[in-house]
Amino acid sequence: MPDLSLRELLDLDRRHVWHPYGPMPGRQEPLVVESASGVRLRMADGSGDLVDGMSSWWSAIHGYNHPVLNDAARGQLERMSHVMFGGLTHEPAVRLAKRLVDITPEGLEHVFLADSGSVSVEVAVKMCLQHWRSLGRPAKRRLLTWRGGYHGDTWQPMSVCDPEGGMHELWQGVLHRQVFADAPPAGYEESYAAHLRELIGRHADELAAVIVEPVVQGAGGMRFHSPAYLRVLREACDAHDVLLVFDEIATGFGRTGTLFAAEHAGVTPDVMCVGKALTGGYLTMAATLCTARVAEGISRGEVPVLAHGPTFMGNPLAAAVACASIDLLLGQDWQTEVKRIEAGLREGLAEASSMPGVRDVRVLGAIGVVQLDHEVDMAAATAAAVREGVWLRPFRDLVYTMPPYVTGDEDVARIARAVRAAAREG
């Protein structure tokens, strides 16, 4: 097909293409990206570049078109872009598994390479349910989480997203009925810790696992909470024979200032999901890690295998880029870069606190959030950010950013200006 003109491209998009959480094709007008390099998206309408304040939904931590990641992809492409993983293995997958075991909290030993974050959560849930089933405790099949969370768009993950006002409210009554604690307060409150302990104790006989996003709840509301709650969960889960799952799909690979958010609390979960920044945003891959105890439980069952095996599991191209992305991250002083962005966002967003309509401003690591006291007008807020030369995706009552770690100081300041403009005009 010859290159499409911008008009043709938009006409075809309108006619055929369904976008994430979009109305049926034809009812919205996306902006067209021509290419992306560094922290900039080049727009096809000739309007110039936009600084990406979203890292393509937390993932492009090194920016776009990075020579090291390009070389890793090209090098692997010459050898093998994909091969089935059932009965076969290969170096990129093995190297990636070893890297993940080395850098994640001590005790996580086994790695399932999934093809998206949502699927890695499905796998985590299967691991936990199968573990108890194999140990002769099939009644332990519910999950406990706290409100305000988000774990993905497939079936089990949807059941542990916030049931009221959350993205999956539409499906209430159809989804599995899970156990919900209140949303965690920002600071440590003993009464909330007691609430968690009480619920876990009360439901222990039917609970397979507790699943939470550690320290930052992402798409469910961009809220931060005290790491101390993770220690409370660990102790209560141990006391009541319940597994603990951390969903680090958004928080992993440095975003909150530690390599994984679990490190803020010094806690090892039984199962952990990573994704998004795993491949530096290049290719779709996620991983579910578990301890030897979880794996051994599964292996004692009537069906002693983990019952999951997607076609594109362990994709070599994605695994090779993931290894290169992890090496690139760890080979530099990424903590200093994340701290620099944190300082820039704090400074740039400080004056938003006194703006009318703003309820809260919060910054942690390379994450900045302005929460409004009303639903944002998405189109107006996005347009305001674009006028400042920045790509943002405000939603609900939130205008927020999680820039690539390579974003320079001037661009961080520009992003903060755009967040303020979006909050003012949206």
Is 150 catalytic? The answer is: yes
Q: Name, in order, each residue with C-beta under 8 angstroms of 218's C-beta and a sequence gap of 6 or more.
A: 58, 150, 250, 251
CA dihedral over 21, 183, 234, 171, signed as positive or negative: negative
Q: Say whether 247 is catalytic.
A: yes
**C-beta of 52 vs 247, nearer to ligand PMP:** 247
Closer CB to ligand PMP, residue 152 or residue 297? 152
Report which residue's Cβ sits closest to ligand PMP: 117
Q: Which is nearer to ligand PMP, 43 or 399 (CB)?
A: 399
| Nearest distance from C-beta of residue 149 to ligand PMP, angstroms | 8
Is 311 assigned to a binding site?
A: yes
Q: Which residue reads 């034809």 in tokens?
A: 26
What is the SS3 assignment for 397?
coil
Asked whether residue 146 is marked as a ligand-binding residue, the answer is: no
Return the number of the residue (249 or 306) whose C-beta is nearest ligand PMP: 249
3-state helix, strand, coil in the chain (%, to 5): 40, 20, 40
Beta carbon of residue 154, minimum distance to ligand PMP (angstroms, whole number): 7
Cα Rg for the chain, rounded, in angstroms? 21
Q: How many CA atoms lie within 13 A of 206 on its CB side?
A: 9
188 in active site: no
- Burial 183-217, CB ≥16 within 10 A → b, else e: bbeeeeeeebbebbbebbeebbeebbbbbbbbbbb
Active-site residue, 21 included: yes
Shortest distance, CB of residue 145 to ligand PMP, whole angstroms?
11
**48 annotated ligand-binding residue:** no
CA 410 to chain CA mean position, Å: 26
Smallest gap, in angstroms, from Cβ of residue 213 to ligand PMP? Answer: 5
Residue 135 token pair: 């140990």
Question: CB 289 → ligand PMP: shortest distance, Å?
Answer: 15
Residues that bind ligand PMP (CB under 6 A): 57, 116-118, 121, 150-152, 213, 218-219, 247, 249-250, 275, 286
**CA gap 253, 349 in Å, rounded:** 24
Nearer to ligand PMP, 245 or 352 (CB): 245
Annotated binding-site residue? 118:
yes
- Set 270, 276, 405, 411: catalytic member: 276
Q: Is the Cα dihedral 115, 120, 126, 132 positive or negative?
A: positive
**Active site residue: 150, 282, 400, 405, which one?**
150
Binding-site residues for substrate, please?
57, 150, 276, 309, 393
Residue stretches of the annotated binding site: 57, 117-118, 150, 247, 276, 309-311, 393
**Residue numbers annotated as active site:** 21, 150, 247, 276
